[in-house]
Structure formats: structure tokens, C-alpha cells
Amino acid sequence: MGRRVWSRIGCDCPLCGARVAGARLCSGCETDITALPGGRSRCPRCALRLPALAPACPACLGGSWAYGRTFAAFDYTPPADALIQMLKTRLRLSMAPVLARLLAAEIRRGGGLPEGCLLVPVPASRASLRLRGMNPAGEIARSLAAELALPLARGALRRRRETPRQTSLGRRARQTGATGLFAASSRVRGRHVAVVDDVMTTGSTVQAAASALLAAGAASVTIVVAARTP
């Protein structure tokens, strides 16, 4: 109930301070952070910006991926990265529905998710939960489930071990550390699943999550992230 009320009351755009109706950006800021320069598009597999006239990004050519598609609302660059930091660092839970609205709009533009798709947030580490008292991916997933009227399976993924903070690791270390990181419950068997996270950088975390879901019998896996690191 609280989130529905919050979505209707007046508040300020988190980026420019303009008055808006509900938990959202003003139209100008939304256009500024979601539009790609030069009318370019994203790689449908990993959501990186595509080189001009390229159908897929070089990073995905010849690769083996456990997920079929990635939706990303915006690039993790200024000023849009401030929205993520407001949620993760300043613990402004009101940013979760803002991010979910942007993500839902991108999903709709891209043709949507399979009917009845199960939303599964990437589980936070114990250290992160102690630091923040909440899981940013879980908060975004909860608001996104309401936006898209899709079921949310918060505990369908679990961590099999703890890992160092991702921000302290390079690409190779992230890939090595994420291998076999997650296990999935049998409740995903036969279901189309969308893995929800806040930021996708190397893709190692979501690849590990997707692999665990497929091993548990998921029919397919789509990645859904608020922001993509270029």
C-alpha cells in the first residue's frame, strides 16, 4: 500500500529537483539518461552500446552465455549513476521504484518479458546486508514486480559462499570468483526467469546466476539490470 501511495504523491525529480508526480524522474532527465548517443542501440545479449552498424558487440561474438537477453535502463555513467548511489550508499529506498519504472519502460520498449516470467533478484552477500540492512537488487525487483504485475521469487537464488566486494576486483578476478557462486531452488523448474540486479559490469555475477537457474531446470533466463557499465 505504501508504495502505491508514494507513486502518486508529488515529489522532486532526484536528478534536477523539478516537481514530478510520484516516484519518477522528470521527462527531460529520463530522456537524457536513457537515450543512447547517435541513435545507437544496445547489444541484445549483454546490453553494451553497439558500435555503429554492428548487429552484436564484439564481446558476445563466439561467447557461451547462460542467458538469452539483457535489458538495461541506462548506462552507469554520470549523472545517472547517482540514482544507483542514492539507493546503495545513501540508502534512499525511494529510489527503488524510480529505477523500477525506468527498467519497466525499457522492457516494454524491447517487447516485454515472457508471460508469467518469474522475477528473481541476485542475493546480496552477508557483508552487504550487514552494511546496508537491505538488498538493492531485491528492492528494485519488488518494485518491478508491481510495475509489471509479475511474480517475485525472492529466495529462488542463494549464495553458496561469500566473496570479496566486487568493486575491489578486476575483470578476471570477478569471473573466477563468480563461478559456481549460486544455487537455485527447484521452484524455477520449467519457468521463464528474469534475474534482477542493480548494475551489470563484467556480467560474471549474472552469468553465474543464470547458470544456476538453468541447472535447476529454468526454461530460459533473461537479465534485467537498472544500469550497464559501458
Q: Report the C-alpha gap between 11 and 141 in whole angstroms.
A: 22
Could you tell me the pLDDT band of residue 168, with boundaries at 50, 70 and 90? Answer: low
Q: If you average pLDDT over residues 20-49, what whole number do you get?
A: 91
Amino acid at position 19, single letter: R
pLDDT for 171 beyond 70: no
pLDDT for 9 beyond 80: no
pTM of the predicted structure, to 2 decimals:
0.89
Report yes or no: 208 and 176 within 8 Å, Cβ to Cβ: no
Q: If you average pLDDT over residues 14-31, what whole number do you get?
A: 93
Q: Which of 113, 88, 111 is nearest to 99 (CA)?
A: 88
Residue ranges of domains in the chain: 40-228
40-228 belongs to CATH 2.40.50.140: no
Q: If you average pLDDT over residues 184-206, what whole number do you get?
A: 96
Q: Which pLDDT does position 1 carry in this prediction?
A: 43
pLDDT digits (tens, 9 = 90+) for 74-121: 999 999 999 999 999 999 999 999 999 999 999 999 999 999 999 999
Q: Which pLDDT does position 175 carry in this prediction?
A: 58
pLDDT for 172 beyond 80: no
| Cell numbers found for residue 43 | 547489444
